[in-house]
Structure 1
Amino acid sequence: MRYIIENLSEEQILEIDRQGDVVNCGVTEYVADAGNEVGGGLVLKRYNFVAPLIEAGAPVTAQTDANVAAR
């Protein structure tokens, strides 16, 4: 989803992937870009945010991606 919304290149999205796993139920938040006069847009505010999970006492978990290309 970030790839599309943020218009990222393949290298940028692969770098995000190398930085760590996306946690289950982690929050990704965007805000409207008021400075963009051509149709607005969204700007990433936070990614992989887990404070609500921690506050609720829920475990923060991640699951690795299945290697479906090798099948």
Structure 2
Amino acid sequence: MRKEAGQGNGRSMDQMNDMRIILTHHRKISDSHRLRYLGARLLAALQKNKNKLSVPLLKECERGAGRILRHD
């Protein structure tokens, strides 16, 4: 059975936050993986919020993209 948009993938919020920190801060993760993660976050948020983005999510993605572009 298909999950509805916004239900997540069965991970706890702690696990999701750990993944976010790893994918946005860890140096060994490639830029393409980070961009793919940010894109997935945006898509999930759009689906969950009926195509309305929250300011915190936009700021998070902007910071993440900025780090990628600067090659922290």
TM range, smaller chain: under 0.3
- Rg larger for: 1
For normalisation by structure 1, the TM-score amounts to 0.27
Which structure carries more strand by proportion?
A: 1
For normalisation by structure 2, the TM-score amounts to 0.27
